[in-house]
Structure 1
Amino acid sequence: MNTGKDAIYSQPQQVGSFRFDQNVAEVFPDMIQRSVPGYNTIVDAIGQLCGTYATDNSVIYDLGSALGAASLAASKYIQAKNCEIKAIDNSEAMVKRCQLHVQAFKSATPIQVICDDLQNVDISNASCVIMNFTLQFIPPEERDDIIAKIYAGLNPGGILILSEKLKHDSQQGNELLIDLHHEFKRRNGYSELEISQKRSALEDVMLTDTFEQHQTRITTAGFSDVVRWFTCFNFASMVAIKS
């Protein structure tokens, strides 16, 4: 599918809050590749994890599915029988493009694309739940309840795969990681103006937690183990296992 180059913040502008609108949907693959270190590795490993943990007759939820990269990766690896993937996102623009990707891919595991807020979704009979850079956009006061709801809807032995941009617990360490990430973006062709304006747009929208905050939230919900399997700069992915 044709996608454009991300130039949303390339010109001086009055910067509003970041939104997953039509403009972002059109350039999202380029934006995510140039902004998130290790994104392809993360997505492929999500597929592998779902292939390992998906069980017959269960549901795989992709919460905040965007254009469906994680859902498609999961569908490629799942061997369990009679599974269904539910790809859920509250951006109509993202959902429309996700549906086109799913139709073009012709997955062996059926993918149902749903436009809704994940807070409204009933999670049940789940073997895997994916939140790939999603929780960071949810209001902090709602995060504990969401993780608790996911835990309740997972079958024993099921997993939550959670990828997040992290905040370091010291200012010095946090600034170091931010500097490394900004250099990553420069090397991928973003200008100082683009980096600055994108940061302003995300300032009040993407509120990050430390790994320790995530770990506490996950274990409080009841998960028996939290494995941080990927880290690059201030980006990480972890797997929470329900006994």
Structure 2
Amino acid sequence: MSPKDTQPDTDLIYSKPQVKVADFRFDAQVVEVFPDMIKRSVPGYNTIIDTIGNLAGRYAKDDTNVYDLGCSLGAASLAMRRTIEAKNCNIIAIDNSQEMVERCKIHLNAFKSDTPCEVKHGDILQEPMENASVIVLNFTLQFIAPDKRAQLIENIANALVPGGLFILSEKIYDQDPACKDLLNELHHDFKRANGYSELEIAQKRSAIENVMKPDVLDSHLTRLKQAGFSHATPWFQCFNFFSLVAIK
């Protein structure tokens, strides 16, 4: 494997004008630049990943499973492998992009840990989950059809053992139009500061608007309550990106 294979490339996917901007997909082209894309697009991403590791270390229990749903390249799984000390605890990472799964396996296999991690290609709406002490859904629910989100959250609640932890990170929008516009503009400023051009920002927005449907914060909290979570609170927000924890 050459050094180029192990180092993230620069995200230039939307740097040239496109006659028709196709819907965003987690394909081989995105996989190649994903670490750079996520770093330059999601404020606070490293803080979220580090905290997922911290939380998993606190809540993972002996003889249970830990799930990373929509694992992409395995950043959350890797953070959890570094901190989990529970005995006979297994991480199961699932993603519906075959290209992501193959690269994720490479990333995770490069780190040695007493906590095994199985990476599976599958649909998180269909994959069975059980006996879980921690479940992570990191910027994934927003890509699930809105009418299927409540069922997924219910499945997650049912899979968790009593006292189990659910970590949800998402992009959200504000119901107040003025606040919504302000948060969006601050996010665009963040992208500009990280080197994205106006063309890239506009074309990425066109590519993602049909496939990513964010919710308001209250919708997330309502789903969690209806699914049976006893406690839920946001712990992080930067602009229109947030993360919360919920305890069964």
Cα distance in 1 between the residues matched to 2:44 and 2:12: 21
Aligned counterpart, 2:3: none
Aligned counterpart, 1:96: 102
Structure 1 residue 107: deviation in Å? 2.5
Give the aligned length.
Answer: 242
Among 138, 142, 151, the residue aligned to 1:136: 142
Aligned counterpart, 2:59: 53
Query: Could you list the runs of 4 or more consecutive aligned residues of structure 1 that deviate by over 3 angstroms after TM superposition?
Result: none
State the one-letter code of the partner of 2:220. H
CA RMSD of aligned residues (A): 0.6
Among 73, 76, 81, the residue aligned to 2:82: 76
Q: Deviations over 1:112-139 (max 9, x none)?
A: 0000010111110000000000000000
Aligned counterpart, 1:6: 11
State the one-letter code of the partner of 2:158. A
Aligned counterpart, 2:198: 192
Cα distance in 1 between the residues matched to 2:113 and 2:68: 15
Cα distance in 1 between the residues matched to 2:12 and 2:114: 35
Q: Deviations over 1:148-187 (max 9, x none)?
A: 0100010000011000000111111111100000000000
Partner SS for 2:80: helix
Does 1:107 pair with 2:113? yes
Structure 1 residue 99: deviation in Å? 0.5
Cα distance in 1 between the residues matched to 2:85 and 2:113: 12
Structure 1 residue 106: deviation in Å? 1.9
- What TM-score do you get using the length of structure 2 for normalisation? 0.97
Q: Deviations over 1:10-66 (max 9, x none)?
A: 000120100000000000000000000010000000000000000000000000000
Structure 1 residue 108: deviation in Å? 2.2
Among 238, 241, 248, the residue aligned to 1:235: 241
Aligned counterpart, 2:155: 149
Cα distance in 2 between the residues matched to 1:198 and 1:228: 27
Aligned counterpart, 1:213: 219
Among 89, 93, 109, the residue aligned to 1:87: 93
Among 183, 187, 196, the residue aligned to 1:181: 187
| Structure 2: runs of 5+ lacking an equivalent | 1-5
Cα distance in 1 between the residues matched to 2:108 and 2:241: 27
Report sequence identity in percent: 57
Among 214, 225, 232, the residue aligned to 2:231: 225
Cα distance in 2 between the residues matched to 1:169 and 1:123: 34
Cα distance in 2 between the residues matched to 1:109 and 1:20: 27
- What TM-score do you get using the length of structure 1 for normalisation? 0.99
Cα distance in 1 between the residues matched to 2:216 and 2:181: 14
